[in-house]
Amino acid sequence: MSEKTTFWLDGAEIPFTAGQTLLEAARRAGHYIPHLCWHPDYKPHGSCKLCTVKVDGRFVSACTTLAQAGAHVENRTAELDDMRRTLLQLLFVEGNHFCPSCEKSGQCLLQATAYELGMMSPHFDHFFPNRPVDASHPEVMLDFNRCILCSLCEQAAKRDGKFTFVMGGRGMRGRRVILNSESGRLADTDFSSTDHAAHVCPVGVILKKRVGFAVPYGQRRYDQAPVSLLDVAEAIK
């Protein structure tokens, strides 16, 4: 049996098992660390940096950093939440996010995290990028205007033994999700609506056709409770 020990998170003593990350141990103990690109079913890679915490004064990604006995971890401080709001603001202006008309509104992790952290405005100038909408597939459409480059679709596709989605390009404007077909269309891949990748997107990029707005605004997941409560509830159920 793995030995359990503890570290400190915002003054609370958190038990952990050897091999657990700070994020995993915190969630299991009922403490929320904001995150976007992390998913419990996939290997963490720390790309969004929203889960950045301070461990004994040093900035680290909570999703990739292993818990250490006796460590003092800062999480929900004014400094860290201010940094997180800036990261969220950059994500909102880098893409084309118009929440009032988005099918994912109320179910969107980006939107819910912005509410949780009190992001009241985008602050920066919008990029207004020209991104494609791919409706070629009979069951699913892709709206890359909302993509936050979390790479979860790529990881989920690999879980299905497929390479439907691939992260490619470099830089803020060049980095993007590439569809693995000669035409570059989803319809010409081996993607299926039953794939894990069809259900993993935390924002409104991958959407099933003919089921839009089946659940009214105000009755959706994050309309019922804030992301901080739902996230830890899932971890400890």
Region 176-182 average pLDDT: 94
pLDDT in the model for residue 3: 64
pLDDT at 4 over 80: no
Split at pLDDT 50, 70, 90, the class of 227 is very high
| pLDDT at residue number 183 | 96
Contacts with 148 (C-beta within 8 Å, 6 or more apart), sequence order: 36, 37, 48, 91, 95, 110, 202, 203
pLDDT tens, residue by residue, 79-138 = 999 999 999 999 999 999 999 999 999 999 999 999 999 999 989 999 999 899 999 999
The pLDDT value recorded for residue 164 is 96
For the chain, which residues make up each domain, given as ranges?
Answer: 4-76, 104-224
Predicted confidence (pLDDT) at residue 181 exceeds the cutoff of 70? yes
Tell me what pLDDT residue 174 has. Answer: 79
- CB of 217 within 8 A of CB of 106? yes
Q: Which residues contact 106 (CB under 8 A, 6 or more apart)?
A: 215, 217, 218, 219, 220, 221, 222, 223
Q: What is the mean pLDDT of the chain?
A: 94
Classify domain 104-224 by CATH number. 3.30.70.20
**Per-residue pLDDT tens digits for 62-83:** 999 999 999 999 999 999 999 9
Indicate the pTM of the whole model.
Answer: 0.94
Tens digits of residue pLDDT in 187-226: 999 999 999 999 999 999 999 999 989 999 999 999 999 9
Strands 52-55 and 58-61: antiparallel
Of 236 and 205, more confident:
205
- Give the residue from 12, 10, 39, 36 showing the smallest Cα distance to 21: 39
Rounded mean pLDDT, 36-48: 95
User: How sure is the predictor about 2, in pLDDT bands with cuts at 50, 70 and 90?
Assistant: low
Asked whether the predicted pLDDT for residue 233 surpasses 90, the reply is: yes
168: which strand partners?
A: 176
Q: Identify the pLDDT of residue 172.
A: 66
Decide if pLDDT at 1 tops 50: no
The pLDDT, as a whole number, for residue 81 is: 98
pLDDT at residue number 86: 97
| Paired strand residues for 61 | 52
> So what's the pLDDT on residue 234?
93
What is the fold, at CATH topology level, of the domain defined by 4-76? Ubiquitin-like (UB roll) (3.10.20)
